[in-house]
Amino acid sequence: MIRIGILGDIGSGKSFVAKLFGYPVFNADNEVGKIYKKSRVCFLKLKRSLPEYIKTFPTDKTELTNAILGNKNNIKKINKIVHPLVRKKMNLFLLKNKKKKAVVLDVPLLLENKIKNKNMILVFVDSKKSDILKRLKKRKGFNIKVFKKLKKIQLSLDYKKKKSDYIIKNYNTKKFVRKSVKNLLKKIL
């Protein structure tokens, strides 16, 4: 099984590009959302770790935002609880799809969390800052302060770009991006 890891900035279009490959996609952001909605275990750990912020189940995004903005160490506490649960879901996804020719891992902190293995092909999604800001402003509940805090825990884009095997330019038409992914797939497979 070929593992394709998608890298890029927040709002660069990683999820859009990941779907274009046409293989099963593990979307870590979606899994985090499900964990917050459904996992009482996660909620209880968050509540124990951040009792002054986390009070509501399903885990409330506003409470999480307040925790992130309330103390710079809180994002580390949240990640320490949530990331192992996401990794467990990713391992189940990989097991479920082990007979597939390829899978796509849309995991924002793929390098930061040392998820990359030596056989993984890394694809960096490059996007213009103006396009990124437009996309982010369309997102429900977008908070620029939280965005800046999340950027601080990520490796630099230059580093991610250097570590990548391929770059997809997501600043042309969707048709161009589709064609770029199709051409890349021919190289990979």
- Tell me the domain boundaries of the chain: 1-24+100-189, 29-96
DSSP H helix total and E strand total for the chain: 9, 5
Beta pairing partners, 123? 6, 166
> Tell me, what's the pLDDT at 29?
93
Q: In which element (H, E) is residue 138 found?
A: helix 129-138
Give 26-81 as a DSSP string: EEHHHHHHHHHHH-HHHHHHHHHH-TTT---TTTPHHHHHHHHHH-TTHHHHHHHH
Beta pairing partners, 61? none
Could you tell me the CATH superfamily of domain 1-24+100-189?
A: P-loop containing nucleotide triphosphate hydrolases (3.40.50.300)
Q: What is the mean pLDDT of residues 120-147?
A: 89
The whole model's pTM is what? Answer: 0.92
Q: What is the mean pLDDT of residues 87-108?
A: 96
What is the spatial distance between Cα 78 and Cα 120, in angstroms, rounded to a whole number? 27
* Dihedrals phi, psi of 104, to nearest 5 degrees: -120, 130
Is pLDDT of 46 > 80?
Answer: yes
> Tell me, what's the pLDDT at 114?
85
> Tell me, what's the pLDDT at 93?
98
> Tell me, what's the pLDDT at 103?
97
